[in-house]
Amino acid sequence: MLGSAAVAVVHVGVEFGWWPSPLPACLVPTAGGATVEDLMRSLAPTAAKPCDEPAYLIPGLPISMAQMNLLYALGLAAFIWRGAAARRG
């Protein structure tokens, strides 16, 4: 659960612009000496949603899916930790 929370923190940071995405597919392509025709051919046939744009699941609730994942993962990790501590004591 803590690993899931870590991934959620990275995604939330990308959504808020705190750091760039570590995934190469989410980075803005550069021309790098390519012609305009080469760049046009490399474009996807349909527009993809940018990785740094939050995806809101519930209309009117300003919490993105990455933020909900973070809250869920941390809450479940706390629940598991508390259950494990109760079994020991």
Residue 26's pLDDT is: 72
What the block records as the tokens of 68 is 């909900």
Query: Got the DSSP string for 9-78?
Result: HHHHHHHHTSS--SSGGGSPP--TT--HHHHHHHS-SSPPPPTTS--BSSTT---BHHHHHHHHHHHHHH
Whole-model pTM over 0.85: no
> Could you report the per-residue pLDDT of 39-64, keeping only the tens digit for each?
777 776 765 677 778 888 888 989 99
Which strand (E) or helix (H) includes residue 1?
Answer: none
61-73 mean pLDDT = 92
Q: Measured between alpha carbons, how far is 85 from 60 in angstroms, rounded to an integer?
A: 38
Query: Which residues constitute the domain of residue 26?
Result: 2-88
- Look up residue 13 and give its amino acid: G
82, pLDDT greater than 70: yes
Residue 75's pLDDT is: 95
The structural domain count of the chain equals 1
Which of 44, 63, 64 minimizes the C-alpha distance to 55?
Answer: 64
